[in-house]
Amino acid sequence: MPSFGTLDHYVQGTSFTNYVERLEHLSSFNGWTEENKKSVLIALNGSVVYDELKLIFPTVELATLKYEDMVKKLKERFDKVDPDMMQRFYFYNRFQKVEESAESFILSVKMQAELCNFQQFKETAIRDRLIMGLHDRELQKSLLMSEILTLDVIEKKLLSSELAKKQTKAMSSEYRKEEVHSVKNRLGKKYGESSREYSRDKRYRGRITYGNDRRVSFRNRSPSEARDSSGYTNAIFKKAYTVPYKLKDKLEQHLEMLEQQKVITPIKASEWASPVIVVVKKDQDIRLVIDCKVSINKAIVPNTYPLPLAQDIFASLAGCKVFCCLDLAGAYTF
């Protein structure tokens, strides 16, 4: 029995009637006989349908049953329908969800109304439920103030109102974008928006500053990069971080050593300053680390030089035999 097309097994809890309709279409396309359809229904659906058939027909061989009898009994078991009263309870408690579209809400109310046996009252019931279940209170108030309302009019108003809101939101967002661009064009570019305005060799230079209390900060000198009132940024001065008491003696010795090595120069005042963090190393020595992100990083031009890839670096080491590891004391400290 060669066939074309596929059909998944029946999932309990879904509509068995819809499943049988799909099976009938597949059968019609492939030209199956009643026996073929019965075999597919039993074999394809696994234990769910097979066990249910054995419960319905405990003393009968399934091969002797007719396809129509099997489908009829399975529909009664799998497609149990609540009484009209419960269906109407579900109908009158149907409200539009926050993110639910108007079209989905309308279709859902109409589908539920089909199970309620409203008869001639169905169209009126759907109209009332659409108004009472609306999430938009302003639109609901507007509909209640209308004198003549039919189901068609309400559907059009719900759909047109939702479309108008989407269009208004889109227009508003586009207007805000144009307004922002207009302000940027009038005020000019913000410093740092384009890294091409300045050459790579323009960098801040600095030195450590400290006073009698041994709280440390970093003095940044910017002869050409720092901006003033004519277009340059204002000087950024950040107060020094407090040093723990147990580290003050080590900090005194470390600063004196750096001063002797001409790495730092003590000064009395500076317009620019970055705080310094004292980090304890594994050997209990200390390292001074400048916290530039709160100060000069806001004004310097980022270096856009592309970094090499790891595979390129490894490839350049091909054929090398001797390697060494250098520990640079104080590297990247200042």
For residue range 199-251, what is the model confidence (pLDDT) as tens digits?
333 333 344 444 444 444 445 444 444 444 444 567 888 888 888 888 888 88
Q: What is the mean pLDDT of residues 130-151?
A: 89
Predicted confidence band of residue 179 (pLDDT cuts 50, 70, 90): low
Instruction: List the structure tokens of 96.
Output: 């539009």
| Chain centroid to CA 266 | 51
pLDDT at 182: 52
Residue 187 has pLDDT above 90, yes or no: no
What does DSSP assign to residue 329? T
Contact indicator for 221, 272 with CB cutoff of 8 Å = yes
Which pLDDT band holds residue 125 (cuts at 50, 70, 90)? very high
Q: Distance from CA of residue 247 to its chain's centroid?
A: 45
Phi, psi of 280 (to 5 degrees): -90, 125
What number does CATH give the domain 205-298?
Answer: 3.10.10.10
Q: Is the pLDDT of residue 334 over 50?
A: no
With b meaning 16 or more CB within 10 Å and e meaning fewer, what string describes 132-167?
Answer: ebbeeeebbeebeeeeeeebeebbebbeebbeeeee
Query: Domain locations in the chain?
Result: 16-78, 84-169, 205-298
Q: Tokens 């009158």 identify what position?
A: 92
pTM flag (> 0.95): no
Do 66 and 104 contact (CB within 8 A), yes or no?
A: no
The pLDDT score that the predictor gives to residue 16 is: 83
Are 3 and 30 in contact, with CB atoms under 8 Å apart? Answer: yes
- The rounded mean pLDDT for the chain is 77
pLDDT in tens, 43-94: 877 788 888 888 888 888 888 888 888 888 888 887 766 778 888 898 999 9
Distance between CA atoms of residues 274 and 31, nearest Å? 84
- DSSP H helices, 79-222, are 84-92, 102-113, 122-132, 137-144, 151-187
Question: Residues of the chain with pLDDT > 70: what percent?
Answer: 78
